[in-house]
Amino acid sequence: MRKITAPAFLLFSLPVILFLSSCGSTKRLRYFQDLPESHTASELALAAYTEPHIQPDDILSIHINTIDADATAAINARNVGYTNMGAQAQGATPQAAGTGYLVDKDGYVDIPIVGRLKVGGLTTAEARDAIKAKSASSFKNPVVDVRYANFKITVIGEVSRPATYVLPNEQVTLLDAIGYAGDLTIYGKRENILVIRKDANGKNFTVKLDLTQKSTLNSPYFYLKQNDVVYVEPNKTKVLNNDNNVIKYITAAATIFTAIVLGIRYL
């Protein structure tokens, strides 16, 4: 019988050690890896924010306030309230006072007393000015506020809380969306984030963003639009963990390796 020597043991153990150490690397989990390693503040350029434009089937919250609150009560009663409301997954019950104003297929909304008005293609600021101008003939010095009541984004794939999120704020970044979803899991591919977007003409566009590179911060897709879908693809580790055949092969290889070691030991 011959015992396995220390050099032989290291020869067989080294590949296993290297494999385990590579699996434990945190580099693939880091965001924006090309940022300088500095503890001092440095200027960072972000993509220019462009306001989203109102589209058919959007739901708007339209408030018109005047000195006489009763005069606009019928208008404001239909609005969805967002008091103390943060991002909510679809299905949660918002603090709603009404259903809001649906933008029809032609881009119009019907507002009691004020009448029918086209807001499709406008930003919420432009819609506010248009509604204020038209309601001035019915109310004295009206104060108008317009915001989305169904500004939603969907985050799916390898995140902690995949869901559709309804937001009270229309200025939402990709990082905000990931934050609402509880961040990527360790199985999420940070270098391959898919964003799916539909434009005003109904055409779908896709782009893949790399969260390990700071260039993503300058992408026109960094700021999300209403109804955007963010998909986080699983990495190879997740695929391997869910592949029964691969697990069988690994188990068989481990058995063969053990048999070889034991065979050398007792030669």
pLDDT of residue 201: 76
Of residues 213 and 11, more confidently modeled:
213
How would you classify the pairing of strands 59-65 and 163-167? unpaired
Q: Do 77 and 103 fall within a single domain?
A: yes
> Average pLDDT of 127-135?
96
Q: What is the mean pLDDT of the chain?
A: 80
> Average pLDDT of 232-256?
68
b/e map of 229-265 (b: 16 or more CB within 10 Å)?
Answer: bbbbbbbeebeeeeeeeeeeeeeeeeeeeeeeeeeee
> Average pLDDT of 4-15?
48
pLDDT of residue 21: 47
Q: Is residue 47 part of a domain?
A: no
CATH code, domain with 96:
3.30.1950.10
> Average pLDDT of 256-263?
66
Q: Do 140 and 227 fall within a single domain?
A: no
pLDDT tens string 223-240? 999 999 999 999 877 656
pLDDT of residue 9: 46
Which structural domain, as residue segments, surrounds residue 209?
A: 1-11+25-34+152-267
Q: Do 78 and 96 fall within a single domain?
A: yes
pTM greater than the 0.85 cutoff? no
pLDDT tens string 64-77? 999 988 899 989 99
Q: Do 182 and 85 fall within a single domain?
A: no
Q: Do 84 and 5 fall within a single domain?
A: no
> Average pLDDT of 211-220?
90
Q: Is residue 51 part of a domain?
A: no
Q: Is residue 42 part of a domain?
A: no
**Total count of domains within the chain:** 2
